[in-house]
Chains A and B, each alone.
Chain A
Amino acid sequence: MNLIIGIILLLSLAVVFLLFRSTEILSVAKKKITHSFEDSNNSFNAITGVIFMVTSFIVVFWYSYDQFENYFLPMASQHAPEVEMLFWATMAVTFTVFLITQVMMFYFGYRYRYNKNRKAYFYPENHKLEIVWTVVPAIVLVGLVGWGLYKWNKIMGPPPRDAEIIEIVGYQFAWASRYPGPDNELGNANYKLIDVENIVGIDFTDTSSLDDFMPREIHIPKGKPVLFKIKARDVIHSVYLPYMRSQMNAVPGMPTQMWFIPTKTTAEMREETGNENFNFEIVCNKICGRAHFSMKHTVIVQEEWEYIKWKNEQKSWIEKNPDYYANFIKNNSTDVATLND
């Protein structure tokens, strides 16, 4: 393998060098003393340009069509189709501009390649034209921006009141999740209380933390708004759910949030993709160190009744770690009050 690559490299180097020598010798032989810069292989370059352009367009169209399923992910949240609509509208606009400008450029290169019997057209400006191509893009952009902002405000705006609240905490190199439990209220947490067991630093002197539970996988209900309250313990991470078209950074010292409404359960996705191992995953999307690339967490979307059933089966954290809780209360009953000042 290495040998073959080496030989190919050597051969191509040899070819390049031969070409180089031969042009030098040829130009000497032809006694081209003037070396006028105008005879610059204009036709060769002009035609190569056109061939390149046509070929690339064919390849791009073919690949984009043929591989669509491969690069276009199924959409699994309510806002995903709305975002994609704008994405593809932008694609239509930009691709049209792309096509027109590239075709013009390479075509002009070919059509107006050097000819010593012709003189270029002295054409320094045309204000009308310039105004047109300033104003038209501006109008199109206003349209795209207006549309975008309308959706942006909706997606980033306040979550519905009935949203399921889940705390997500990123740390090198994993995610933890905490549910508020039956009282629907997440208990206080403090980073100074974090240790090997209490990985998000729950403050158990706050009574609303007593029923909080921390499952191994995140479960969320289909068709109901879900609000992620996002935190990071050490460095910046990013909660990225490509199928939901949702993302938000997790920043130490600054809680963030995002919300969405799932529209497909994991089971439905398994059917749709034909992959029985399919799982939604939170992937970390902000460089965070050595194992950034494997920092992920499974998210299971269920029908609402399944979700409620699952939730009712969960044991609270203190129920699972009674010793820790007892110790905590013993050691912290006074300290924490000062900590939280």
Chain B
Amino acid sequence: MEITKTSTKPKVQEHDHHDDHHEQSFITKYIFSEDHKMIAKQFLISGIFWAIMGGALSSLFRIQLGFPDMDLTALSPIIGNWLTPQGKIDPEVYLALITMHGTIMVFFVLTAGLSGTFSNFLIPLQIGARDMASGFMNMLSYWFFFLSSIVMFISIFVEGGPASGGWTIYPPLSALPQAVSGSGMGMTLWLISMALFIVSALLGSLNYITTVINLRTEGMTFFRMPLTIWAFLVTAILGVLSFPVLLSAALLLIMDRSFGTSFYLSDIYIAGEALSNQGGSAILFQHLFWFLGHPEVYIVILPSLGITSEIIATCSRKPIFGYRAMVYSIFGIGVLSFVVWAHHMFISGMNPFLGSVFTILTLIIAVPSAVKAFNYIATLWRGNIVFTPAMLFSIGLVSFFISGGLTGLFLGNSVIDINLHDTYFVVAHFHIVMGSASFFGLFAGVYHWFPKMYGRMMNRTLGYIHFWVTFIGAYLVFFPLHYIGIAGFPRRYYSFTNFETGRIESFIDLNTFVSFAAIITFIAQFIFLFNFFYSIYRGRKASKNPWNSNTIEWTTPVEPGHGNWPGAIPKVERWPYDYSKPGSDKDFIPQNIPLSKTPESNMPDDSSR
């Protein structure tokens, strides 16, 4: 860390001299940019691309689930070789679709797209830094992600199809090409892509951590940082500690696949042949995977929670309730998320005693999560709530976080999980608490910081339409899955027509309904896309601080140049949540206003904030 700091020092000073009036070539400005704002936009646009891909894939497999008899021959120009002669999706393609959907959404959209965008964009702006600690590493982070994206994209079209063992790629299924055709070339590319992805995540995370620790402006003490920054910081720490474990899991899998080792393989007879591998443990992979996998779900949700904290405070015109409790619960969640991983493995065959331990630890993590939810609601109480689209999405996030967190209490209790594991109940749980909630944080962030990103406003009416269709749509898609799960319907099933006699009929209508809602919701996202791209060029010009917000990114020019502030970086004089302070005639006091200028509203405990 010391090294990065010293090596970037000269650079930061350089910016002081020539701020904006330094023409950059197209390539250094837009492509190999080292400016955190441009890199953030690169991540955002790539994330949007992947989100469309992920959404399109899910629409395809929802067609298979909801309209199993539909003839898709009309789509054959696009997805020709994925269809059976009857115009139906091939069962192995179905598995490939869900695998790619999960991988894309979890890693490429909600990890890279979300953290990459907002950690990059907001950390320097909100802590008062000219740029990231290392602009070069930051650029590398994006380009490793880009490479990883290319490899993953190519894998969709290779012979045998992309990886198809589920996003959790449990071996032996993922290790043996004989087991499923996606475990051939597709799986190899998946592993290469993820290795590149991990490099990118590590470069990014190390940078975020260093920047937050070392480059805060004068007066920006840790406890004056906005909750967004806290969330990004803990997210980055989780990433640094957990992604290497996934890398080692992947490396061992690569060895098993290509070099005849037996880390995960033992006593296997497949395709008419007994393999020589002995002594490996398939469960080992699951431990390694979930040691990343569980922190990963918090890597996905924490940035969204941070974004939401900021927006809910700003748009309720009220301080976030229990700032310190929020910080401690972010940390609590961060630490605990490392010791609950085996709740994904209650019935994997591991020792039931381990199951007991992980049940206890898992339900402990529900406590800080509950505290966060209560604090959001308390922030709304007696606020003066302005429903900007960002605020709506934030409220939507809290709603999802509660709904999905509560179903976690069922799954976390091992004895209930016996019956719910790998059913649609789990699918409902994590699509609500992770998928929907985190996506809503992403949307909220885009609507809220769009003016800072592009100097223009997004259209509000389209924002409202987008929100209501998406909010209602997401509930319509994911809530019914609880019932299907309680009824014992397994996930990752291509079709339920072979399922237990007499029971398939029970949910045909519901499945059709869910698919219908899913496709409508997916299509509604094009409203957002239109709004986004139209507003970049034609949106109404933004003012400097359009939401009357306190954090210091709003003290930069409407479109901040390289180095962010043309003059000196503002000094931070107070915490970021002085909204509606009694005595003040305005309902917000930005962080750079000294207490000495606001004697009318100062409070005895101001200095402790």
Number of inter-chain CB pairs below 8 Å:
357
Within 8 A of B (CB), among A269-326: 273, 275, 277-279, 281, 283-294, 296
Minimal beta-carbon separation of A253 from chain B (angstroms): 3
Fill in one digit per residue for B499-513: 1 if any A CB lies within 8 Å of its CB, else 0: 111100011000000
Chain B residues near A207 (CB, 8 Å)?
none
Flag whether B595 is at the interface (Cβ < 8 A). no
B266 to chain A, nearest CB (A): 3
Q: Which of B22-30, B50-58, B317-325 is near enough to bind chain A?
A: B317-325
CA distance A61 to B281 in the complex (A): 46
Contact A252–B384 (Cβ < 8 Å): no
Cβ–Cβ contact B267 & A292, under 8 A: no
Taking CB atoms, residues of chain A closer than 8 Å to B609 are 124
List residues of chain B with CB within 8 A of the CB of A340: none
What separation, in Å, do the CA atoms of A157 and B414 have in the docked complex?
A: 13
Q: Is the CB of B179 within 8 A of A234?
A: yes
A105 x B172 contact (CB < 8 A): no
Chain B residues, Cβ within 8 Å of A294:
498
CB distance from B295 to the nearest CB of A (A): 21
Q: Which of A9, A37, A41, A56 contacts B548 (CB 8 A)?
A: A37
Given A94-B410, A97-B406, A101-B377, A287:B173 Cβ within 8 A: yes
Asked if B385 and A125 make an inter-chain contact with CB atoms under 8 angstroms apart, the answer reads no
The answer to whether B413 and A144 have CB atoms under 8 Å apart is: yes
B18: CB under 8 A from chain A? no
Residues of A within 8 Å of B265, CB to CB, are 252-253
CA gap between A243 and B418 in the complex, in Å: 12
* With contact pairs A46-B387, A94-B410, A278-B501 given, residues A120 and B316 touching in the complex (Cβ less than 8 Å): yes
Query: Who on chain A is nearest to B92 by CB?
Result: A290
User: A236–B173 contact, CB under 8 A?
Assistant: yes
Contact A285:B274 (CB < 8 A) given known A101-B402, A134-B371: no
Per-residue contact bits, chain B 157-201, to A (CB 8 Å; 1 contact, 0 not): 000000001100010110010011000000000000000000000
Identify which of A122, A125, A149, A277 contacts B325 (C-beta below 8 A). A125
Residue of chain B at shortest CB distance from A67: B483
**For residue B422, which residues in chain A have a CB less than 8 angstroms away from its CB?**
238, 240, 247, 285-286
What are the residues of chain A within 8 A of B179 when measuring CB–CB?
172, 234-235, 288-289
Q: Give the contacting residue for B268; candidates A19, A157, A233, A277; CB below 8 A.
A: A233
Asked if residues A115 and B384 are in contact (CB atoms below 8 Å), the reply is yes
The answer to whether A191 touches B493, judged by C-beta atoms less than 8 angstroms apart, is no
Q: How far is the CA of A251 from the CA of B543 in the complex (A)?
A: 61
Is B91 a contact partner of A293 (Cβ separation < 8 A)? yes
Does B484 sit within 8 A of A, measured CB to CB? yes
* Tally of chain A residues near chain B (CB < 8 A): 117
Does chain A have a CB within 8 A of B464? yes
List of A residues within 8 angstroms of B274 by Cβ: 191-192, 194
Instruction: Check A83 against B416 for contact (C-beta < 8 Å).
Output: yes
A253 to B274, CA, bound (A): 12
Contact B165 A102 (CB under 8 A): no
Contact of B487 among A71, A93, A157, A233 (CB under 8 A): A71
User: Complex: how many Å from CA A283 to CA B488?
Assistant: 10
Q: At the interface with chain A, which of B144-152, B297-305, B346-354, B561-569?
A: B346-354
Which of A106-114, A160-168, A176-184, A216-224 lies at the interface with chain B? Answer: A106-114
With beta carbons under 8 angstroms apart, the residue of B180, B380, B386, B460 that contacts A108 is B380
Cβ proximity bits A50-94 to B, threshold 8 Å, 1 near / 0 not:
001000100010011001001111000000000100110011011
> Which chain A positions have C-beta within 8 A of B270?
172, 233-235
Mark the stretch among B3-11, B40-48, B121-129, B574-582 that contacts chain A: B574-582
Q: Is the CB of A122 within 8 A of B418?
A: no
Report A-chain residues with C-beta under 8 Å of the C-beta of B415: 83, 86, 148-149, 151-152, 155
Q: Which of A56, A152, A194 contacts B356 (CB 8 A)?
A: A152
**In the complex, A201 Cα to B391 Cα: how many Å?**
62
Q: Which of B528-552 contact A (CB under 8 A)?
A: 540, 543, 546-548
Does B213 count as interface, using CB distance less than 8 angstroms? no
Q: Which stretch, B80-88, B221-229, B230-238, B392-400, touches the partner chain A?
A: B392-400
Knowing A125-B322, A156-B355, the reply to whether A292 touches B403 (Cβ < 8 A) is: no
Provide the residues of chain B in CB contact with A123, threshold 8 Å.
Answer: 318-319, 321, 378, 381-382
Query: Which residues of chain B from 490 to 529 have any CB-CB distance to chain A below 8 Å in the complex?
Result: 490, 492-496, 498-502, 506-507, 523, 527
Q: How large is the interface on B (under 10, 10 to 19, 20 to 34, 35 or more residues)?
A: 35 or more
CB <8 Å contact, A254 and B349: yes
Please judge, given known A-B contacts A23-B461, A94-B406, A98-B402, whether A289 and B173 are in contact too, CB under 8 Å. yes
Q: Measured between alpha carbons, how far is A108 from B374 in the docked complex, in Å?
A: 13
Contact residues in B for A196 (Cβ distance below 8 Å): 272
Are A37 and B546 in contact (CB-based, < 8 A)? yes
Q: Is the CB of B324 within 8 A of A248?
A: no
How far apart sit A158 and B580, CA to CA, in the bound complex (Å)?
A: 62
Is A249's CB within 8 Å of the partner chain B? yes
Binds A, one of B31-39, B359-367, B438-446: B359-367
Instruction: Check B325 against A293 for contact (C-beta < 8 Å).
Output: no
Q: State the CA gap A118–B382 with chains docked (Å).
A: 10
Nearest opposing residue in chain A for B465, CB measure: A16
Q: Could you tell me if B501 and A105 are in contact, using CB atoms closer than 8 angstroms? A: no
Q: Are A86 and B479 also in contact (CB < 8 A) when A73-B487, A101-B402, A152-B355 are?
A: no
User: Whole-angstrom distance between the alpha carbons of A296 and B490 in the complex?
Assistant: 12
Most chain A CB within 10 A, of B318, B547, B577, is at B318
B269 within 8 A of A: yes
Q: Smallest CB–CB gap between B502 and chain A, Å? A: 4
**Which residues on the A side are within 8 Å of B527 (C-beta)?**
16
A138 on interface, CB distance cutoff 8 Å: yes
Any chain A CB within 8 A of the CB of B244?
no
Tell me whether B370 is interfacial, beta carbon within 8 Å. yes
Choice from A71, A87, A192, A292 contacting B492 with Cβ under 8 Å: A292
- The chain A residue sitting closest to B580, CB to CB, is A120
Q: Which residues of A contact B395 (CB under 8 A)?
A: 49, 105, 109
Q: Does the CB pair B460–A141 fall under 8 Å? A: no
Are A253 and B483 in contact, CB atoms less than 8 angstroms apart? no
Q: Which of B352, B367, B457, B540 contacts A156 (CB 8 A)?
A: B352
Query: Contacts of A285 on B, CB cut-off 8 Å?
Result: 421-423, 490
Contacts of A251 in B (CB 8 A): 282-283, 348-349
Query: In the complex the two chains form, is A293's CB within 8 Å of B387's CB?
Result: no
Q: A41-B464, A121-B580, A290-B92 are known contacts. Are A252 and B266 too (CB-CB below 8 A)? A: yes
**Which residues of the other chain, A, contact B392 by a CB distance below 8 angstroms?**
45
- Bound complex: CA of A148 vs CA of B577, how far in Å? 42
CB<8 Å pairs between A and B, sample of 9: A97-B402, A108-B383, A112-B380, A122-B318, A130-B371, A235-B172, A247-B421, A287-B95, A290-B95
By a beta-carbon cutoff of 8 Å, the part of chain B in contact with chain A is 74, 91-92, 95, 165-166, 170, 172-173, 176, 179-180, 265-270, 272, 274, 278, 280-283, 316-325, 347-349, 352, 355-356, 359-360, 363-364, 366-367, 370-371, 373-378, 380-388, 391-392, 395, 398-399, 402-403, 406-407, 409-410, 413-416, 418-419, 421-423, 457, 459-462, 464-465, 468, 471-472, 475, 479, 483-484, 486-488, 490, 492-496, 498-502, 506-507, 523, 527, 540, 543, 546-548, 577, 579-582, 587, 609
Give me 6 other A-B pairs in contact (C-beta within 8 A), A114-B385, A120-B384 excluded. A35-B543, A41-B464, A72-B487, A105-B395, A152-B414, A242-B487
